[in-house]
Amino acid sequence: MRTIDMKSVVNSLVSGDAFNVNNLLNLSEKYSKDAEIDGIDSDIYVYGKYLNTSELIVKWGYIAEEYKVTTEDGYILLLTRIVSGKSGPCRPVLLLHGFMSASDQWLLPGRSESLAFILADNGYDVWLGDQRGNVNSQAHNKYDVDSKIFWDFSFHEFGVYDLPAFIEKILDITKVSQLSYIGYSLGASEFLIMGSERPEYLEKVKVSILLAPFFNPPSISQSHILHTINLFSPIIMNPMVRATKHSILPRTKALQTAIQTFCSPKVAIDVCLAIVGDLVGENRNNLDRKLVPFYFSSLPAGCSLKTYEHILQSFKSERFQQYDYGSLKNVKKYGSHTPPRYKIEQIQTPIALLYANNDIILKTENVIKLEKTLPNVVMCYEVSDPKFSHTDFVFGSNAVQLVYDKILQLIESYN
């Protein structure tokens, strides 16, 4: 087994060299022969092979339908439907991914371990959305994807434009009046944003299930890596901006291959697990080590630099508020020196909050604060495993027993 010099890795990150495509290709090629994974009986988990959302759905034995959704401000988003072939009443459920991820995150653990497939097997009409700016939703009816104005959005627009557009499309196709919603991390936040800024859409949602909801996040210093990134943000971000034109960590074959290589059990999987553990909570024993390279290589799917900045602002302010343009620009845009907070106390939709105590991105007391602020919380559930982390909601080996069974019971009561 080869070892990687962590000092050189850190220096590469700080200098921005880690995001140089040629460097990534050279490094992954150097270690690629050691990275291939044995003992996986599937043509889905193959080193160097990357399947999109529809391909994964088909590979696991379902039918996939793709729809293009145009938002009010012109972004063209991908919406994918899982057709299971089961008969019965139409019960649509929309799932939205987390920060910098994509809809394939819901499918990678496999047919019996993925929430999307479990819902489909239980007779639900499952829809997977892809937010603006990720690898599947990089189009606009007016702006070119390489233009600065295309990337002028934060997660505020996810809730104000993207989520309403997904809901409208699903209800139009299915001819029903309501759907159920499941949002993970930032996907949970955008439902709260929609409820604050577009309350007319709340009546179209039967129940909203928020997994690891990104709300009033704790101090960024809880993660050593995030704290370092914050301190050296200009040094790190400037090379990324030059390389990617106002987006961050776009999904490229070079980046996926590099992550898949280094996170292989035969190369440096424990380094990868240590990094992810610092970012979201350490619980490496709850991840299938053979699938870790495929999980982690799927996570960078692209997003705007402004979304990243909005998240950093949330960590610093510990407030759930709109994007901070600075005092002078705030006055011009909002009429006040500080950004307005999201008025989530007006959301009457039944909401379930599911969270983990070992999630560095959240604080338990902040989730309790959220429960007290929202007027119609029907469940506030702390996962019983004390080591359960942020990523375990999607990739954890015990997520079915500890989380998904709860979701099925709850969603069934509203359908």
Q: Looking at the annotation, which residues are catalytic? A: 185, 390
Residue 163 DSSP SS3: helix
- For the record, the structure tokens of 115 come out as 């929430």
Residue among 195, 137, 102 at smallest CA distance from 394: 102
Residue 157 DSSP SS3: helix
How far, in Å, CA of 353 to CA of 306, rounded? 27
DSSP structure string for 278-333:
HHH---GGGS-TTTHHHHHHHS---EEHHHHHHHHHHHHH---B-----HHHHHHH
φ, ψ dihedrals at 355, nearest 5°: -145, 170
Buried b (16+ CB within 10 A) or exposed e, 55-84: ebbeebebebeebebebebebebbbbbbeb
